[in-house]
């Protein structure tokens, strides 16, 4: 036999430790459930992406006309030079010349050109 100096206090500490372990295990179970849901969602996402890709590859690409579209770059913006903040009121403000960057044909113009080409080909057939 072993004599315990304060059995009630020891029992209280053991029960608190067991309580903390149970709380930790509950947290772990919640974590595991979330991980399982995450894996299910990612597998569902993968299958949805496969379905969408097959629909795009099989159905959409077959039904769309083939075009001569070139890679479209974002239009460049006009850069303005900064004017000094404080100007004497006597002088008139002269507009600062802006650097003009040539903008390539817009996507809409290219699509209209392609539409005209297709209509011309249809007239040639009919």
- Whether 96 and 80 have beta carbons less than 8 Å apart is answered as yes
Amino acid 78: pLDDT? 61
Cα 22 from Cα 124, distance rounded (Å): 81
Amino acid 59: pLDDT? 81
Closest CA to 118 of 41, 126, 100, 55: 126
Integer CA distances (angstroms), 21 to 7, 14, 65, in order: 21, 11, 65
Write out the two tokens for 35.
Answer: 């991980």
Amino acid 97: pLDDT? 57
- Full-model pTM: 0.41
Amino acid 57: pLDDT? 84
The residue extents of the domains of the chain are 1-55
Could you give the 3-state DSSP secondary structure of residue 99? strand
Q: Could you list the pLDDT tens digit for every one of the 126 residues in the chain?
A: 778 788 888 888 889 889 999 999 999 999 999 999 999 999 999 999 999 998 888 887 777 777 776 666 666 666 555 555 555 555 555 555 566 555 566 667 777 777 777 777 777 775
Helix or strand run (H / E) with residue 8: helix 7-55
Amino acid 41: pLDDT? 97
Closest CA to 104 of 113, 96, 95: 113
Cα 69 from Cα 107, distance rounded (Å): 8
Angle formed at CA 102 by CA 99 and CA 107, multiple of 5 degrees? 135
Could you give the 3-state DSSP secondary structure of residue 118? helix
């Amino acid at each position: 036999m072993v004599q315990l100096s304060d059995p009630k206090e020891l029992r209280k500490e053991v029960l608190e430790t067991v309580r903390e372990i149970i709380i930790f295990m509950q947290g772990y179970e919640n974590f595991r459930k979330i991980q399982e849901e995450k894996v299910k969602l990612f597998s569902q996402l993968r299958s949805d992406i496969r379905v969408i890709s097959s629909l795009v590859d099989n159905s959409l690409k077959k039904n769309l006309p083939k075009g001569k579209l070139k890679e479209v770059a974002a239009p460049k913006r006009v850069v303005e030079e900064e004017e000094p903040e404080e100007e004497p009121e006597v002088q008139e403000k002269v507009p600062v010349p802006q650097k003009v960057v040539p903008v390539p044909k817009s996507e809409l113009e290219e699509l209209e050109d392609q539409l005209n080409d297709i209509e011309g080909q249809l007239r040639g057939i009919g």
